[in-house]
Structure 1
Amino acid sequence: MAERIVILGAGESGVGAAVLAQAKGFDVFVSDLGKISDKYKKALQEYKIDFEEGEHSEDKILSANEVVKSPGIPDKAPLILKLKSKGIPVISEIEFAGRYSKAKMICITGSNGKTTTTLMLYHMLKKAGLNVGLAGNVGESLAWQVAEKNFNYYVLELSSFQLDGMYQFKADIAILLNITPDHLDRYDYKMQNYVDSKFRIIQNLTESDAFVYCCDDEIISKEMENWNSKVQLFPFSVKKELKTGGWLEKELLTIDCNEYKISMDKKDLSLPGIHNVYNSLASGIAGSVLGIRKDAIRESLSDFQGVNHRLEKVVKVRGIQFINDSKATNINSTWYALESMEEPVVWIVGGVDKGNDYSVLFDLVDVKVKGIVCLGVDNEKIHKAFDGRVKTIVDADSMEKAVKLSYEIANKDEVVLLSPACASFDLFKSYEDRGDQFKEEVRNL
């Protein structure tokens, strides 16, 4: 009898895992508590994979030999606890897919900058002519690609939720960009639990693998003090010169890995802001470790186009630049966005707060922000933080209203920045929906 694999959640990762499981001869069942989108339902039907939606039939699920869980389902969900109490392994799609691939895995995590760095590296590897796939939190499902494509390399963006379901999976190059408080609601509001989750990216590394990490990050540096491994370490910094890894000195980026040395001027980077210096250093080190040609590394860092919904310039209206940074769902992301602004800012902020400490932004807000538009169902915490600090602070309960108010407050040669520092689920389906609505309303002005 074929082993039974149950997939919980029928989004990109779940359906991908189902396709791979079927290709490997498992008895596959997919269960989604919500409604499955037409795109994925059609795929399940075409592959003749058994599925249900709108419910979880426990008798069918608890008969599994192993369960692949969507990263969106919390580990503390009653069904997951029941599976674990019965000794049924619960893993992530990445863990499952990794068993069936011999490709080199370049894995990126961090509280911020993951998507930019992942896409930057994918761009670099493609430019270098490598046969590379893009997966994890971006691109297509890793499992689906492993089932039907034949890539030699994968660049993977990994969230803490994906890492939590990974046990035997091994990165060849692991990149840890930064750790700041985020998703603490999923980690018992204990920062160390979240830190431990991020550090799972280095589990199973061997001495022939590379760990690329930001040594300016205090949390990462503290963790590294207790870490003893033979893995190759490549730190990066914008504050100090290093013996190996990557650093910024004055305006020059230098990467020095295993005698592989590259320099380039900061002004030649395609993306502005100090956070993108970090992202570029991490990408450049990974490219060097892979032995990519120096000119391909330099070119890719200077012509990379950036990420939708991340400091995305929308349009200028009456001399006012509108910028969509809807992907900024935590304080740290918004800090980087404000840090990179050079003109006075009208800041659109708000949504579902994940335990934000807005005081971190006070110094930047004092210098850069002339007005705030609070976009959310409950804006009390934002008012408490910024009333009296900023001359104009108003409320909006829709994107249309937020854009109109910001347009009224801003003047020529100023910026309207949507950088919410919060999740989107109070008024929008997702951060993409929030960013798309922003762009649409700006174009309607």
Structure 2
Amino acid sequence: MKTLKNFPYQHVLVLGLAKSGQAAAQLLYDSHISFAINDKQPFEHNETAQYFAELGVEVVTGDHPLSVLDGVDLVVKNPGIPHQHVIVAEAEKQGVPVVTEVELAYLLIDGPLVAITGTNGKTTTTTLVHRILDEAGLNPLLAGNIGVVASEVVREQKPSQPVVMELSSFQLKAIHQFKPDIAVLLNITEAHLDYHQTLEDYVNSKFRLVERQTADDFVVYNHDDSTIASKQEWLQATPVPFSVTHSMDYGVTCFDGDIYIGQERLMAERDVALPGDHNLENVLASIAVASQFNVPHSVIESVLKQFTGVKHRLQFVKSVDGRLVYNDSKATNILATTKAIQSFSNPIVLIAGGLDRGVAFDELIAQFDGVKYCVVYGESAQKIAHSAYEHDYHNVTICDNIDDATNEAYLQSEVGDVILLSPACASWDQFKTFEDRGDMFIDVVHKL
């Protein structure tokens, strides 16, 4: 199992003991590097802190005193901890580098690294790229924001074994040396402003993925995305564009119902099993990555004809009395829900709501031509309903929770309708994760 070698820091602070913090701490311990831990959860309820304390590691829990920075020359923070946090802000003020756990993982990687980011579609694209490379016999590793801690995964990496990594803006904002061989920029639209404070900071965090790339690397990017197009000067790597609207001599495109790699036809668009027009961009990006590994076209085509998606991402749940029920709990922003709505020609009964992150919902309501009824719940329910009324849309019911909202959606639906959970909001007002929210929805659907 790999450990850190020639590590340039003398004493590290691990800030936050979620999965990534625990993995970072274990890696530092196994590498015989001096470090301390600071976590907000009280010690008596903190099994991970107790574990490391028994190993002799300095552990401070329950509070964040500035003294934890004494003698520290690197902070490894949990991605979800904002940079306004008292310890992070003070470390940056003192000139102490602040990184996320993927930076440590990068120091261990010995082989091709594919790193994928975007506002929407990251998990679907990461999973699809991994599936294609695996079918091609390349034995890739899957890591990152997809739920598998990178610094755990890459410790088992064999020489030349590809790593396919999903990365969030939270992770990317705090990287310094991290540089992928193949970077993927899917799309960028307004999101996570409660964390980043400004759209500019969010966009810049995404583009940190490509900052250190050179002409020897590749950047797969969405030619149709205006935000990415406006920052072309940031792209120093060899470009591999993809587009669902333009015919190009290179890159990956879809036009006249067919998908092309360069000028060579790969397959018909209708043969792609993954549902939803928005997923076509994810498909093209995945093809572009696979083409850099010289995966045979027959392998790519075979996977695309079988891959139907990822749980909680426009997942078909079941048919209930002639209604088609879909779980899109991963849609935690307006653009994701908009794309989900646009994926169906059937009338939609939409279930939306969750954590109020301070965004306006006017853009969402503007897409309601295909939505016959909307059921809203949670912290943002009143706000979404108010936006609907402001736009003269009155087919709205406010509920307290997913259970009530799902039953109400069924009552408002008819044979042939789509019942769609696509919340346009984060889950944290009532659930720990969007997966928990989706699982609850699925449970309720099976009881209808």
Identical columns (%) = 37
Q: Name the CA shift for 1:361/1:57 in 2 (closer, same or farther; >3 Å).
A: closer
Map of 2:3 onto structure 1: none
Partner Cα separation in structure 2 for residue 268 and residue 43 of structure 1? 51
Q: Which ranges of structure 1 fall in alignment gaps of 5 or more residues?
A: none
Q: Are residues 1:134 and 2:142 paired?
A: yes
Map of 1:405 onto structure 2: 408
Map of 1:176 onto structure 2: 185
Q: Does the aligned pair in 1 maintain the 2:348–2:418 contact within 8 Å?
A: yes
Amino acid at match of 1:271: L
TM-aligned CA deviation for residue 273 of structure 1? 1.6
Q: Are residues 1:296 and 2:299 paired?
A: yes
Amino acid at match of 1:334: T
TM-aligned CA deviation for residue 184 of structure 1? 1.6
Q: Does the aligned pair in 1 maintain the 2:353–2:378 contact within 8 Å?
A: yes
Partner Cα separation in structure 2 for residue 110 and residue 144 of structure 1? 23
Map of 1:155 onto structure 2: 164
Map of 1:29 onto structure 2: 36
For each residue in 1:223-256, what CA deviation from the matched residue of structure 2 results, as whole angstroms up to 9, or x when unmatched?
A: 11x4463x21011111110121011111101112
Q: Does the aligned pair in 2 maintain the 1:33–1:56 contact within 8 Å?
A: yes
Q: Does the aligned pair in 2 maintain the 1:8–1:30 contact within 8 Å?
A: yes
SS state at 2:102 partner: helix
Q: How does 1:42-441 map to 2 (within 5 A)?
A: 44=52, 51-150=59-158, 152-189=161-198, 191-224=199-232, 226-227=233-234, 229=236, 231-256=237-262, 261-366=264-369, 368-387=370-389, 389-441=392-444
Amino acid at match of 1:211: V
Please report the TM-score for the alignment, with normalisation by the length of structure 1: 0.92
TM-aligned CA deviation for residue 103 of structure 1? 2.1
Q: Name the CA shift for 1:54/1:262 in 2 (closer, same or farther; >3 Å).
A: farther
SS state at 1:15 partner: helix
Map of 2:11 onto structure 1: 4
Partner Cα separation in structure 2 for residue 305 and residue 43 of structure 1? 41
TM-aligned CA deviation for residue 86 of structure 1? 2.4
Q: Does the aligned pair in 2 maintain the 1:348–1:419 contact within 8 Å?
A: yes
TM-aligned CA deviation for residue 354 of structure 1? 2.7
TM-aligned CA deviation for residue 418 of structure 1? 0.6
Q: Does the aligned pair in 2 maintain the 1:371–1:390 contact within 8 Å?
A: no
Amino acid at match of 2:17: A
Q: Which moved more, 1:155-164 or 1:29-38?
A: 29-38
Q: Name the CA shift for 1:353/1:255 in 2 (closer, same or farther; >3 Å).
A: farther
Partner Cα separation in structure 1 for residue 9 and residue 124 of structure 2? 41
TM-aligned CA deviation for residue 62 of structure 1? 3.2
Q: Does the aligned pair in 2 maintain the 1:369–1:390 contact within 8 Å?
A: no
Q: How many residues align?
A: 438
Amino acid at match of 1:409: Q
Q: Name the CA shift for 1:38/1:320 in 2 (closer, same or farther; >3 Å).
A: farther
Partner Cα separation in structure 2 for residue 47 and residue 72 of structure 1? 26
For each residue in 1:255-294, what CA deviation from the matched residue of structure 2 results, as whole angstroms up to 9, or x when unmatched?
A: 12xx8x4511111112112211100000001000111121
Q: Are residues 1:17 and 2:24 paired?
A: yes
Q: Name the CA shift for 1:101/1:35 in 2 (closer, same or farther; >3 Å).
A: farther
Partner Cα separation in structure 2 for residue 28 and residue 146 of structure 1? 21
Amino acid at match of 1:219: T
Amino acid at match of 2:86: P
Please report the TM-score for the alignment, with normalisation by the length of structure 2: 0.92
Q: Does the aligned pair in 1 maintain the 2:356–2:379 contact within 8 Å?
A: no
Amino acid at match of 1:105: L
For each residue in 1:8-37, what CA deviation from the matched residue of structure 2 results, as whole angstroms up to 9, or x when unmatched?
A: 111221111112222222023232213699
Amino acid at match of 1:23: D
SS state at 1:207 partner: coil
Amino acid at match of 2:30: A
TM-aligned CA deviation for residue 222 of structure 1? 1.4
TM-aligned CA deviation for residue 114 of structure 1? 0.6
TM-aligned CA deviation for residue 389 of structure 1? 4.2
Map of 2:4 onto structure 1: none
TM-aligned CA deviation for residue 46 of structure 1? 9.0
Partner Cα separation in structure 1 for residue 52 and residue 298 of structure 2? 44
Q: Which ranges of structure 2 fall in alignment gaps of 5 or more residues?
A: 1-7
TM-aligned CA deviation for residue 196 of structure 1? 1.3
TM-aligned CA deviation for residue 148 of structure 1? 3.9
Q: Name the CA shift for 1:39/1:175 in 2 (closer, same or farther; >3 Å).
A: farther
Partner Cα separation in structure 1 for residue 140 and residue 330 of structure 2? 25
For each residue in 1:333-354, what CA deviation from the matched residue of structure 2 results, as whole angstroms up to 9, or x when unmatched?
A: 0011000012111101111233
Partner Cα separation in structure 1 for residue 235 and residue 412 of structure 2? 54
Q: Does the aligned pair in 2 maintain the 1:69–1:90 contact within 8 Å?
A: yes
SS state at 2:432 partner: coil
SS state at 1:156 partner: strand
